[in-house]
Amino acid sequence: MPAILVSEVGPRDGLQSIDPILPLSVKTAWIDALVAAGVREIEVGSFVPAKLLPQLADTAAVVAHALKHSGLTVAVLVPNARGAEAALAAGAHKLTLPLSASETHSLRNLRRTHAQVLEDAAAIATLCKSAAYDVHFEGSVSTAFGCTLEGVVTERKVVELAEALMAAGVDEVGLSDTTGYANPAQVKSVVRAVHAAIGTQHLTGLHLHNTRGLGLANVLAGLDVGITTFDASLAGLGGCPFAPGASGNIVTEDLVFMLEAMGLDTGIDLPRLLDVRKILAAALPDEPLYGFTPDAGLPLGFAVARG
């Protein structure tokens, strides 16, 4: 069966969008349970100033714990070169730098222009190449399918920024539907355009939101054009605090169910993944937890045939 990587982003994207601050012990228990369920990549936090995102102030400690799991790719988001230095000092395997296609969103999110973010990308690429261990550096084009602040984002702009990121030295480019504006036809068109510009091997992942109910439909569109990595958040936690109305990461449980039901191998034990939700339910009693599969349960006789 074809293998698909489900990258869990809840400990970063999910927690940055809610007010409660989870204790380190809960975060580490969450990560341990995800790994036990077969999750192979987790974005565990972000190296941003604690005053901006106090929910992620302990990211270095979370990285240190996650690194104890052999075979787990420990990913983090970095807003600039200083954040990348901290991520490398902590030993993170994968660094993602967001570059918003909408410059208005970039200024709101990072307080940086396109030119400034690209300068940071070049500096981070140099840092990664000189690191004492292998590091994967991704440049993520955020608001790639539309922006709540600027509206329409052109395909040409996304391609232009993807090319600029590759020129700055990133290993790959990701596309993010930060605002939940994307539709399946648009996903196919934009991915094909970026593939044509930078090569299919340099765009393998999508970060999609379910804000308008099209998250899984957009995953199917991505699969059709060769995407093999999809970000998702347990219980659908998350959004973007700097993009008004942009809520709703894809629910990891629903994504894994769909992929496995289609015969695509995620390597994730779905019943064990559903149990992980209990950790969040106990730690965040006042936060809504989303997902159809957890509510309905697995179909009678549902089984995954590993080959």
Domain assignment present for residue 306? The answer is no
pLDDT single digits (tens) 235-276? 999 755 554 444 589 999 999 999 999 999 999 999 999 999
- 240 classed as catalytic: yes
| pLDDT at residue 217, rounded to an integer | 98
CATH of the domain at 230: 3.20.20.70
Domain assignment present for residue 305? The answer is no
Domain assignment present for residue 191? The answer is yes
Whole-angstrom distance, CA of residue 59 vs CA of residue 47: 7
Strands 73-77 and 94-100 turn out to be parallel
Total residue length of the chain: 307
From 28-42, 73-87, 108-122, the region with the lowest mean pLDDT: 108-122
- Count of the separate structural domains present in the chain: 1
| pLDDT at residue 88, rounded to an integer | 98
pLDDT single digits (tens) 185-228? 999 999 999 999 999 999 999 999 998 899 999 999 999 999 99
Domain assignment present for residue 164? The answer is yes
User: Catalytic: which of 63, 240, 251, 276?
Assistant: 240
Domain assignment present for residue 301? The answer is no
Whole-angstrom distance, CA of residue 155 vs CA of residue 144: 8
- Which range of residues forms the domain containing residue 158? 5-296
Domain assignment present for residue 209? The answer is yes
pLDDT single digits (tens) 41-64? 999 999 998 888 999 999 999 999
Residue 283 CB: number of other CB atoms within 10 A?
16
Model pTM score: 0.95
Nearest C-alpha neighbor of 46 from the set 19, 74, 20, 76: 76
- H helical segments located in the chain: 15-16, 24-36, 59-66, 81-90, 103-109, 114-129, 155-168, 184-198, 215-224, 252-261, 270-283, 292-296
Domain assignment present for residue 78? The answer is yes
Domain assignment present for residue 304? The answer is no
